[in-house]
Amino acid sequence: MSRILLTGASGLLGINFGTQLANQHEIIGLVNQNNLNGVPFEVRQVDLTRPQAVERVIDQVKPDVVVHCAAMANVDLCETEPERAYLINADVPSQFSKITKDRSIQFVHISTDAVFDGVEGNYTEKDDPNPLGVYAQTKLTAEHYVMAENPQAIVARVNFYGWSISGRRSLSEFFFNHLSEKKRMMGFTDVYFCPLLVNDLVDILMEMIEKGLSGLYHTLSSECLTKYDFGLAIAEKFGLEQNLIDPVSVYESGLKAARSPNLTLSTEKLSSALGHALPDQAESLTRFYALYQQGLREKIQSFHQG
């Protein structure tokens, strides 16, 4: 059993991490603006961008491992508030990496597939990123800080889906909600990604920690697909109407923001380090549906402190 300091515990990744591992590890979850109701782990409220907040919380909690999921992950907000985005997305990870190195604490930093511009696709960890926009730039800056300041740290580039506290955080919930309400929606036929079920991501991150891995890893599904095909797969799995999803090119969609059309990333480095392949779409969707049937969606939403 490890004592794990989990930042971003109210976020999509954090809440699933804490909920899933609370009976195997001692989890101390940090939230900022959204407190949690009835979660199976200890929760503390800390604005990590406050001076000395990172050092103070590490000194108080004395963790074996820090899993850093907190971020400003809203791309539009990052564009309008770039200084605040830099503070939480780059400066805070830098503080964590220095302090965890000094105190020999294992550090896991969560990054993003969006460090790439999506022009070529099939990226490996050796390919040069080219972030589009403030969010991706701040996340790439964090990767550089963490790897320079704490070479023992894990930097996991992710993209994931699952059940969130708000019920609206993930692309899977977008499709599920619209389809359940019989609303029409667009599905992009030319935007490729490799989303991993957040609960599979939690298991894999723990496996990486337990194996003592360090360095940069693409921590995604082994199978990439278009957003349209992802929507169809959700519809099929939940027995919902596939015809409600209109196949649309992102270029014809009227979306102004820069999109990254081909965010396919190779997971070969991680699968050889772990000695097994990462889950494919069918495996993850089967688990996603099973967790739904077991009531995980309601359980996660019940943690919302209204």
Ligand X SMILES: NC(=O)c1ccc[n+]([C@@H]2O[C@H](COP(=O)([O-])OP(=O)(O)OC[C@H]3O[C@@H](n4cnc5c(N)ncnc54)[C@H](OP(=O)(O)O)[C@@H]3O)[C@@H](O)[C@H]2O)c1
Among the residue ranges 55-63, 66-74, 230-238, 244-252, the one whose residues contact ligand X (CB under 6 A): 66-74
Contact positions with ligand X (CB under 6 A) in 68-107: 69-73, 88
- Please give the Cα distance from 12 to 165 (Å, whole number): 7
- Please give the Cα distance from 286 to 30 (Å, whole number): 30
Q: Which is nearer to ligand X, 34 or 271 (CB)?
A: 34
Among the listed residues 31, 43, 57, 134, the single contact to ligand X using CB under 6 A: 31
Contact positions with ligand X (CB under 6 A) in 200-219: none
Does 178 bind ligand X (CB under 6 A)? Our answer is no
Q: Which residue is nearest to ligand X (CB)?
A: 11
Does 155 bind ligand X (CB under 6 A)? Our answer is no
Among the residue ranges 1-9, 145-153, 211-219, 285-293, the one whose residues contact ligand X (CB under 6 A): 1-9
Q: Which is nearer to ligand X, 79 or 252 (CB)?
A: 79
Burial 110-147 (b: 16+ CB within 10 A, else e): bbbbbbbbbeebebebeeebebbbbbbbbbbbbbebbb
| Residue 243: CB minimum distance to ligand X, A | 26
| Residue 113: CB minimum distance to ligand X, A | 6
Does 159 bind ligand X (CB under 6 A)? Our answer is yes
| Residue 246: CB minimum distance to ligand X, A | 23
Contact positions with ligand X (CB under 6 A) in 125-144: 139
Among the listed residues 4, 5, 6, 8, the single contact to ligand X using CB under 6 A: 8
Q: Do residues 216 and 275 touch, judged by C-beta distance below 8 A? A: no
| Residue 135: CB minimum distance to ligand X, A | 7
Q: Which is nearer to ligand X, 91 or 239 (CB)?
A: 91
Among the residue ranges 41-49, 58-66, 125-133, 233-241, the one whose residues contact ligand X (CB under 6 A): 41-49
| Residue 247: CB minimum distance to ligand X, A | 22
Phi/psi of residue 217, each to 5°? -135, 135
Among the listed residues 49, 152, 189, 271, the single contact to ligand X using CB under 6 A: 49
Among the listed residues 94, 112, 137, 260, the single contact to ligand X using CB under 6 A: 112
Q: Do residues 221 and 284 touch, judged by C-beta distance below 8 A? A: yes
Does 160 bind ligand X (CB under 6 A)? Our answer is yes
Beta-bridge mates of residue 66: 5, 107
Instruction: Return the CA Rg of the chain.
Output: 19
Q: Contact residues for ligand X (CB under 6 A)?
A: 7-14, 30-34, 46-49, 69-73, 88, 110, 112-113, 139, 158-160, 169
